[in-house]
Structure 1
Amino acid sequence: MRRPRRSLLARILWWHAAAVLLTALAASASVYLFLNATADRFERQTLRSEALAVRDQVAARAAGASAPASPGDRTRLEAAGLGYAVVDARGTVVLDRLPAALRPALRIARGDGERYLTRRSRRAFYAALSVPVTLGGERHWIVAVQNLDHPANVVDDVIQQFLAHAALVVLPLLVLLLGVDALIVRRALRPVRRASALVRTVGPARPDVRLAAADLPAEVRPLAEAVNDALDRLTESLDTQRAFTADAAHELRTPITLARIRAEQVSDPALGAALKRDLDALGQIVAQLLEIAELDSLARVPNAPVDLAALAEQTVAAIAPLAYRRGHAIALDRPAAPVMVSGHASFLARALGALVENAVQHTPSGTSVTVEVSSAGDVSVTDDGPGIAPHQQDAVFQRFWRRERGAGGGAGLGLAIVARVASIHGGHVELVSRPGQTRFRFAMPEPNDSR
């Protein structure tokens, strides 16, 4: 099973976070390398200056000043973490001002030119520069060394800790940047979310809804235009289907009427009665098809004040003779005051009639049907028949659905009409059924709602 892809916002933030993080790491590494190279250059200049000063000092002594370096010179070197030594061509240290921890630096002496390196030994981290000089006509090397771990040397410590401290700065900035990005992207995608909400309203009741492609970002505009084109084709197909249903139903009414007249002339009473029953059932199906076609053509019905309680009373009165002939008891429970709703009285009457007739026709003789009107604008039709199986309850409002396909008694359009009437009025139909009781609840919007 293919995993669903992340949202566009998540993908943008993910890639942007990766790009910003890589950029921050690259920038930090570049700055670190630059600072490290700069520190090495300054370190080398410092050591060269120290080596040249030692050369001048040794040359002056060779000219006649044989006194050792002054105590202040050693104190200065120790305070700066510096040291030096002079090595002759045989490798003999002729002048030693190196602390013991820095003595491994003597290994770099006796090169053809200047040699500079930084190295960490077991006792110290140091930078060393070997400078070849000529003293007294002989080749010597002055090795100047600085202890980089010495407290006086803060530049190297700053560089070493740069990346760690940079991370403490970069990570909060990255989080802040992603938060700002989320706000920006959400704002940029707001027209897309509005378009998505609009598309969710598309349906048989609102086939004319279209997206305003000009208001969408350029990247999404082709998709919106394609959706609009698809909706145009679907609407055209739906209109063709509705027109065909209505035309077919209209064309069938006349032949059915003529056949009904001819059935009256059949000499065999039993055959004539059977033909009339079949033609009556066929006429009812045609009438329901016309109702479906009429209801499908409406997105919203004209609103007018309707007394739902009075309408239910008229419906019960009209169906009561049929209920009594079938051996049912029928009762009405309604408030004394009118229950006013906004809607189309004729359509509402059809829906209530279909609910009550469904209860009468699909329950055994001897059962009862109760119609209850609430002041909230709901009508409930309850019967104490066998009930509807749970696996069938989701299908009862589908067109042409019947519990037993081979049985007579209708085409399965009555409850579909009820659901459609509720939908175009902004209401809904609920079904609760168990063995011994079935209850349909036709719920309208609040009374006196200005929908």
Structure 2
Amino acid sequence: MESLSSRIVLATTLVFTTALVGTFLDLAHESKYGFFRIQQNSLTVQVESLVDRVRFIDGKPTLELGNLAAEAGKTVSYALLDSEGGVLQSFGLAGVAISPAILERYDIDYPFWFSFARLIDANSGDAVTLILPDADGAQRIVVTIPARDHLLVQVSMPLLDNTISNVDVLYTLTEASVVAVILPLILTMLAIPLIVLLTLQPIRRVSRQAARMEAATLDRRLSLHRVPSEIRGLVLAFNDLLARLDKAWRLQREFTANAAHELRTPIAALRAEVEAIVPAPTRSILAIHFDKVARLLAQLLALAEADSRPIDAAARLDLMALARAVVADMAPTVFASGREIAIELCSDKLTAVRGDLGLAEIALRNLIDNAVRHSRPGSAIRVVVDGTRISVANTGSDISEETQKAMFKRFWKQDRRSGGSGLGLSIVSAIMTRLGGSVDVSSFNGAATFALNFQTGACSESAFGGS
């Protein structure tokens, strides 16, 4: 069970159910022995009143009942015992002899296994209470208490049958329990999910903020507003981790950009000197390698810009204007390679989309450059604008599904002997991810089409690196 709300509801239900069962059992216990306690208390009061009625006549102990003598044997019986617990005198039913072992305890000898009174104080009174059968086998409650000169006074009466009363008491108490316990339980089970939902709202907000984090937004920090103290330490630790990652990521980006930028000038100077010294046959071979290095440096600079360039989330761009500008700039290079390039508009739909013009231009340039390198000489490259989608199609060879899944990884090259750096398509993918769009590829009958899919609505925060 992964839901915290479900766990709390289950735990609360178990607690309430346990409390209800415990309460019911305690009520059943109390109702079962309630009548016994009433009788015991009544007899205890009576026997305590008889302590002062012990007299010695002609040296013999006797119990003067007075007006109680007429009641002896009807409901209550009385007796006088010696110090050893033997019966000296009885009124009504015969008295019950008490063993010295019981007399030594002088506590309330309950006939059931548990009693709070005995738990609190084992010697909580000086009355000895027993339940014993009489001559007819009927249960009788007997209460014995010490009197003067080590004598004992005893009062007894039949134990009342409380079965019907127990049922009535339990029914009444159970009905009350339904209102007092079960109804609040149901209301609690209904309220807990809402309470948990409101309580966890700050945690969900922090989770959404964490989900929006990406390489370009490592300068952000999770908000501590209304975050529960139980996870505040976790949020602080996560923010500290973000700070360390941001520092390391910045150093990596700056190193890549600075290294690529600093190498461009020495490479250009070295190429000029080599071309002036090396003979013509060798010069063409070296020029290919210089072009490869220059292209790699350019891609590294583009990659660094794609990862770190601040983006205006409210910026809009016209895909048709973007296509015209990029094609016009790259047309001389395309024509020089022996290929043609053209722009097509497939629909009259609005072509203004959300996005960063600089990054979108890098993505489109990389797609056109990729098409030039992988298309057949003499073929045409088509740049198609269709609503929020701009695609680049070229004629070359079919691209397998396995290759389509792997070709957007960094430094991936199908042919390691080719002159590419393996960064072009990965840069396109990184840019479109940051713009909140996507890039896809399709291949059919030797034609490959790469498409950039932009958003028309407001870009989500996960797509942009603004802080």
Q: TM-score, normalised by structure 2?
A: 0.68
Cα distance in 2, alignment partners of residues 384 and 173 from structure 1: 73
Instruction: Tell me whether 1:371 sits opposite 2:412 in the alignment.
Output: no
Which residue of the partner structure matches residue 122 of structure 1?
Answer: none
Deviation at 1:168, TM superposition (A): 8.3
Which residue of the partner structure matches residue 148 of structure 1?
Answer: 162
Cα distance in 2, alignment partners of residues 362 and 118 from structure 1: 108
Which residue of the partner structure matches residue 347 of structure 1?
Answer: 359
Cα distance in 2, alignment partners of residues 109 and 368 from structure 1: 125
Change (3 A) 1:356 1:129: same
Q: Which amino acid aligns with 1:425?
A: L
Which residue of the partner structure matches residue 38 of structure 2?
Answer: 42
The residue matched to 1:282 in structure 2 has which SS? helix
The residue matched to 1:287 in structure 2 has which SS? helix
Identity value in percent: 30
The residue matched to 1:265 in structure 2 has which SS? helix
Deviations 1:42-72 (A, max 9, x none): 35568999xxxxx99996599xxxxxx9xxx
Cα distance in 2, alignment partners of residues 218 and 356 from structure 1: 54
The residue matched to 1:409 in structure 2 has which SS? coil
Which residue of the partner structure matches residue 400 of structure 1?
Answer: 411
Which residue of the partner structure matches residue 359 of structure 1?
Answer: 371
Deviations 1:336-376 (A, max 9, x none): 7572335444432221121122133224557664332112x
Cα distance in 2, alignment partners of residues 143 and 6 from structure 1: 62
Which residue of the partner structure matches residue 114 of structure 2?
Answer: none
| Aligned equivalent of 2:454, options 426, 435, 444 | 444
Which residue of the partner structure matches residue 52 of structure 2?
Answer: none
Cα distance in 2, alignment partners of residues 339 and 226 from structure 1: 44
Q: Which amino acid aligns with 2:158?
A: A
Q: Which amino acid aligns with 1:295?
A: A
Which residue of the partner structure matches residue 192 of structure 1?
Answer: 203
Which residue of the partner structure matches residue 99 of structure 1?
Answer: none
Q: Which amino acid aligns with 2:18?
A: L
Which residue of the partner structure matches residue 22 of structure 2?
Answer: 26
Instruction: Tell me whether 1:157 sits opposite 2:171 in the alignment.
Output: no
Change (3 A) 1:184 1:141: closer
Cα distance in 2, alignment partners of residues 263 and 58 from structure 1: 137
The residue matched to 1:211 in structure 2 has which SS? coil
Match runs of 1:8-19 below 5 Å = 8-19=4-15
Deviation at 1:11, TM superposition (A): 4.4
Which residue of the partner structure matches residue 224 of structure 2?
Answer: 213
Cα distance in 1, alignment partners of residues 162 and 278 from structure 2: 125
Worse-superposed segment, 14-23 or 354-363: 14-23
Q: Is the Cα contact below 8 Å between 2:141 and 2:159 reproduced in 1?
A: yes
The residue matched to 1:431 in structure 2 has which SS? strand
The residue matched to 1:341 in structure 2 has which SS? strand
The residue matched to 2:419 in structure 1 has which SS? coil
Q: Is the Cα contact below 8 Å between 1:303 and 1:342 reproduced in 2?
A: yes
Deviation at 1:128, TM superposition (A): 4.7
The residue matched to 1:215 in structure 2 has which SS? coil
Cα distance in 1, alignment partners of residues 39 and 360 from structure 2: 95
Instruction: Tell me whether 1:410 sits opposite 2:420 in the alignment.
Output: yes
Which residue of the partner structure matches residue 103 of structure 1?
Answer: none
Match runs of 1:20-419 below 5 Å = 20-42=16-38, 112=98, 117=131, 128-129=140-141, 144=158, 146-149=160-163, 154-159=165-170, 162=173, 166=177, 170-213=181-224, 215-301=226-312, 305-319=316-330, 330-335=341-346, 339-365=351-377, 369-375=381-387, 377-383=388-394, 385-404=396-415, 406-419=416-429
Which residue of the partner structure matches residue 102 of structure 1?
Answer: none
Q: Is the Cα contact below 8 Å between 1:288 and 1:414 reproduced in 2?
A: yes
Change (3 A) 1:111 1:299: farther
Q: Is the Cα contact below 8 Å between 1:364 and 1:385 reproduced in 2?
A: yes
Cα distance in 1, alignment partners of residues 277 and 31 from structure 2: 112
Deviation at 1:298, TM superposition (A): 2.0
Q: Which amino acid aligns with 1:38?
A: G
Backbone CA RMSD of aligned residues: 4.6
Worse-superposed segment, 244-253 or 425-434: 425-434
Which residue of the partner structure matches residue 72 of structure 1?
Answer: none
Cα distance in 1, alignment partners of residues 69 and 171 from structure 2: 38
Cα distance in 2, alignment partners of residues 184 and 118 from structure 1: 58
The residue matched to 2:221 in structure 1 has which SS? coil
Worse-superposed segment, 277-286 or 262-271: 262-271
Change (3 A) 1:336 1:386: closer
Instruction: Tell me whether 1:428 sits opposite 2:428 in the alignment.
Output: no
Q: TM-score, normalised by structure 1?
A: 0.70
Cα distance in 2, alignment partners of residues 173 and 302 from structure 1: 50
Aligned pairs, how many?
Answer: 396
Task: Show structure 2 runs of 5+ residues with no match.
Answer: 46-64, 79-91, 99-126, 145-153
Cα distance in 2, alignment partners of residues 384 and 43 from structure 1: 107
Task: Show structure 1 runs of 5+ residues with no match.
Answer: 50-54, 63-68, 70-82, 87-94, 96-105, 120-125, 133-139
The residue matched to 1:445 in structure 2 has which SS? coil
| Relative contact order, higher structure (CA 8 A, sep 6+) | 2
Cα distance in 2, alignment partners of residues 385 and 57 from structure 1: 127
Deviation at 1:117, TM superposition (A): 4.8
Change (3 A) 1:56 1:330: farther
Q: Is the Cα contact below 8 Å between 2:342 and 2:383 reproduced in 1?
A: yes
Cα distance in 1, alignment partners of residues 457 and 21 from structure 2: 65
Cα distance in 1, alignment partners of residues 353 and 71 from structure 2: 118
The residue matched to 1:264 in structure 2 has which SS? helix
Cα distance in 1, alignment partners of residues 442 and 186 from structure 2: 52
Deviation at 1:162, TM superposition (A): 4.6
Deviations 1:252-301 (A, max 9, x none): 10111012212322443221011111111211111121122223222414
Q: Is the Cα contact below 8 Å between 1:205 and 1:300 reproduced in 2?
A: no
